[in-house]
Structure 1
């Protein structure tokens, strides 16, 4: 009796171990498919919610279907479902990428068929294990309680494994293959321990070997096969494909020579390079200078107009490709430039990849460049001779000045850190802050266009300081574009928009902002007037931008300005609360009384109310 009881306990232990491992794999499969769908389709919140929801629905169907399985086939059924789950889950990134690349019109159908199949198989696991374990643990409350306990513990383990080991260090194809191997480990353990119950199914080991070989092929050749499928998503050949813990980077090169837009005299056509992040175009080498000159130089010109001097301390948030830093380094007055990008791999590629180095003119190289770990403290870094006495003297007695800090800071600092965290902790104040973030096409990115973020930016600007942010398209995502400006104004900034045609993107927009000095006047007026009397530095070479172009870019047609005028009337009413006179552009006076509740409820982005993201989705601009 004692030996029989011991065997029963050992049998139950093996089953609980199987549940622990399958629970880890099941949750990780959900995460893997959700991430693939988010990378391909965007709108990460909706993708994760729908995929996990649909998968759990089919898990319920699977749990109910198990009652149709006769007791005598439970052992073989568990082995077969684990093999099939290993194949579908382990190959899921490859299958979805292939479907998106070569059958894009039916991709959603294939995606949800795969999700349904994986969910159905996961739903079968626990009920079958409970039924098998009923022979070894007759007490139902103990059987179900321990089985579910091991499943939930496994789910936590799968979440930790997926988040901290698989995704940060391995491509998705290999991460999924490892999960498939884990499922197969359960299968082999089950077949080895319960071989007597499976003795009639002599073909199962051969099938298990075949599945293991397929998963091994997926692990070894998966990245290469992924690249082959991924190529179907891009017009030009892929020369670099890199998945980091934060994003997926793809660099393509045209197969034929193309002239740049506005070519220099005598400039020869060359290959066009395009950088994509998570499938979204970040720049084209044919016209990126239009975008980056508009991003940097108007802010420098406005700062010179407001403060009467050249900027010396500049912060670039995002812009890990180094192209904005290239423009900043044209100014000899800049004695400290900090480039803060979330992804250290993006900074590494910008500093080491020959193509990116050619495009950014080695902006991330030089004896005065320092690459620092996450954290704002720069007081203990190696002293630099990059600072001029004029610069140091200019900081004495000014807002946030710290002579010791500045004397010990390097000329250019590269930091891998979240922009929101850095702007909270960065020492000192800045003349110009440049935000070169991806478009707010997810709720995670929308925090970089939010009220709390702009509050912190305002606190970090010196007197006369200027903030500029790329702000998506005023045509294709016009509601998001104007919402960005409204949020800046709600944070106590004067704000004004400008736009230009970037051929690769279409009509594109930026917002300039500065700390508001008083509430007595609608704040667009002084900033716009200062901008219109600003001039570019004649000593700085530019490929595209001129004073005439810069002034023209600040002009918007009345159709574009309507929402902006309404937001001004709500954000900055006269102190009496009576009628509001809008901007001097000739529009009619407004009889609308201020409604601050409407302003914050409908037009301002916060951490919990991502209006800019909502408007981005409404525009259909993906």
Structure 2
């Protein structure tokens, strides 16, 4: 070799090398998307997002490490193996979200299926980068390593931004899985068509084309797959389903029973929701002499607002709900507006789509009554809405004589969690009067009535289908199995409520 000629180890990337480096970006993006999909899906279906994200990501990274370690045993044909790995990831990753949604209502041990898929994908992803570096060994090693890792990390950044901002709100989990499975298979096919060494891999080319067609079909039929999964999950026929940026919204109907589910959790049944909403709203509203300015936190279905607007003195209602998809749905759909009495389009009501925790901390108004209708504290993002910090911010918004009512989970199923809410509100400086009501769809359900001052013994409220003064007096009596017990204060830095809630409901549902 003449002096000055580059050695084989110092070649600059050519077109095939550039294609391999570009594939590093794509496979890194796909790999993180599958990790985020599994974590988010587990959080949706199993609750407790911190636990699900921690265990899924930890398992995924562990499997990647095993895959990287096993790559040392590949002695030859790295390109063929790399292509096959890409095709396997395309199948497993692409179909993972759809498969897990379909399996959830059908298998008793869902976590076994979840972690089997996570570990399999993680193992294969762990093989990718070592194989890619070995395929590129004909180039300058220092440049190969730095370039491959650079593209890998940039791909991870792209995935972390795309997933919450674009993919989840616009495609949903099932379509996202198919899209990135398609990307993995497309990388494999692109390498097979551009690398001279791939000329002999005819079978792999045919398999790649078949997989691409299957993933494209899955992407097109994703909504149908989602509906099949939901038909298996719910006892009633699904009449509406939508994946918003924040949650999966499903409506079911059987005869005259309309039900709302958020992320698979029942929110109300039209047959008995009046019991829940009358019990939530009237003990607070009825103890304010002339409530004019009312704040509702949560309650995007407008059912609590319907009860609030029954008071002639009410002049302004501010409803703060995170998800615009919820408030728009319940403001525009005819059968839903009939249920909430058109509350969300009432001229006295203003809808604000914002995070309740942040909104309360920044708000400056004063309210005569506050109705807090947040979801149960299934994870830490919701648990912060039940913390001492949140309730202290809420106290600032109370006008003299104002009343607060908070839905507080079941004192029968989760008594420790229920009394934790009461203890937390008291730690924030509120006087409390806990109470409960029987709602057939949920069983015994708990609420906390609170005020920065004294709470009148009785209130005056419109007669409802369920609540009367005599019935209301009975709500404040607790039998021994739901009686008060010592409880810790739920703070941002401990989130004890989420753990207590999760333990209690896990025992109940097991």
TM-score (norm 2): 0.95
Cα contact 2:433–2:449 (8 A) shared by 1: yes
Deviation per CA, 1:401-453: give whole Å up to 9, x if none: xxxxxxxxxx2101111111211222320000110000011111000100111
Equivalent position of 1:80 in the other structure = 84
Equivalent position of 1:68 in the other structure = 73
Aligned pairs, number: 502
Corresponding residue SS for 1:330: coil
Deviation per CA, 1:308-328: give whole Å up to 9, x if none: x31000000000000000001
Equivalent position of 2:459 in the other structure = 535
Label 1:323 to 1:131 Cα distance change in 2 as closer, same or farther (>3 A): same
Corresponding residue SS for 1:101: coil
Cα contact 2:98–2:226 (8 A) shared by 1: yes
Equivalent position of 1:147 in the other structure = 148
Equivalent position of 2:284 in the other structure = 299
Cα contact 2:436–2:446 (8 A) shared by 1: yes
Corresponding residue SS for 1:359: helix
Which protein shows a greater Rg?
A: 1
Cα contact 2:343–2:349 (8 A) shared by 1: no
CA distance in 2: counterparts of 1:228 and 1:276, whole angstroms: 16
2:299 to 289, 300, 319: 319
Matched, 1:487 2:424: yes
CA distance in 2: counterparts of 1:616 and 1:7, whole angstroms: 59
Equivalent position of 2:137 in the other structure = 134
Within a 5 Å distance, the mapping from 1:6-85 to structure 2 comes to 8-71=13-76, 73-85=77-89
Cα contact 1:58–1:116 (8 A) shared by 2: yes
Cα contact 2:189–2:209 (8 A) shared by 1: no
Corresponding residue SS for 2:197: coil
Corresponding residue SS for 2:441: coil
Label 1:167 to 1:296 Cα distance change in 2 as closer, same or farther (>3 A): same
Q: CA offset at residue 2 of structure 1?
A: 7.2
1:418 to 352, 355, 370: 355
Cα contact 2:411–2:445 (8 A) shared by 1: yes
Q: CA offset at residue 123 of structure 1?
A: 0.4
Label 1:155 to 1:68 Cα distance change in 2 as closer, same or farther (>3 A): same
TM-score (norm 1): 0.78
Corresponding residue SS for 2:434: strand
Equivalent position of 1:310 in the other structure = 290
Corresponding residue SS for 1:97: helix
Cα contact 1:447–1:453 (8 A) shared by 2: yes
Q: CA offset at residue 97 of structure 1?
A: 1.2
Corresponding residue SS for 1:609: coil
Within a 5 Å distance, the mapping from 1:469-488 to structure 2 comes to 469-488=406-425
Corresponding residue SS for 1:331: coil
Cα contact 1:66–1:124 (8 A) shared by 2: yes
Deviation per CA, 1:333-352: give whole Å up to 9, x if none: 00000111000000000011
Cα contact 1:11–1:136 (8 A) shared by 2: no
Equivalent position of 1:440 in the other structure = 377
Equivalent position of 1:281 in the other structure = 266
Equivalent position of 2:470 in the other structure = 548
Q: CA offset at residue 10 of structure 1?
A: 3.8
CA distance in 2: counterparts of 1:419 and 1:236, whole angstroms: 31
Matched, 1:215 2:215: yes
Equivalent position of 1:90 in the other structure = 94
Equivalent position of 1:397 in the other structure = none
Within a 5 Å distance, the mapping from 1:392-411 to structure 2 comes to 411=348
CA RMSD of aligned residues (A): 1.7
CA distance in 2: counterparts of 1:175 and 1:499, whole angstroms: 42
Q: CA offset at residue 14 of structure 1?
A: 2.2
Equivalent position of 1:604 in the other structure = 489
CA distance in 2: counterparts of 1:249 and 1:192, whole angstroms: 43
CA distance in 1: counterparts of 2:321 and 2:357, whole angstroms: 11
Equivalent position of 1:334 in the other structure = 314
Deviation per CA, 1:218-255: give whole Å up to 9, x if none: 1000111121122111100000111111111111101x
Equivalent position of 2:115 in the other structure = 112
Cα contact 2:435–2:446 (8 A) shared by 1: yes
Structure 2: runs of 5 or more not aligned: none
Cα contact 1:500–1:508 (8 A) shared by 2: yes
Cα contact 1:438–1:445 (8 A) shared by 2: yes
CA distance in 2: counterparts of 1:542 and 1:162, whole angstroms: 45
Label 1:221 to 1:111 Cα distance change in 2 as closer, same or farther (>3 A): same
Q: CA offset at residue 183 of structure 1?
A: 1.3
Cα contact 2:292–2:316 (8 A) shared by 1: yes
Cα contact 1:75–1:132 (8 A) shared by 2: yes
Q: CA offset at residue 559 of structure 1?
A: 4.9
CA distance in 1: counterparts of 2:445 and 2:483, whole angstroms: 15
Equivalent position of 2:174 in the other structure = 173
Q: CA offset at residue 9 of structure 1?
A: 4.2
CA distance in 2: counterparts of 1:53 and 1:91, whole angstroms: 21
CA distance in 2: counterparts of 1:170 and 1:278, whole angstroms: 16
CA distance in 1: counterparts of 2:492 and 2:169, whole angstroms: 25
Cα contact 2:293–2:367 (8 A) shared by 1: yes
CA distance in 1: counterparts of 2:151 and 2:415, whole angstroms: 50
Cα contact 1:536–1:546 (8 A) shared by 2: no
Equivalent position of 2:364 in the other structure = 427
CA distance in 2: counterparts of 1:338 and 1:429, whole angstroms: 11
Q: CA offset at residue 188 of structure 1?
A: 2.5
Q: CA offset at residue 153 of structure 1?
A: 1.3
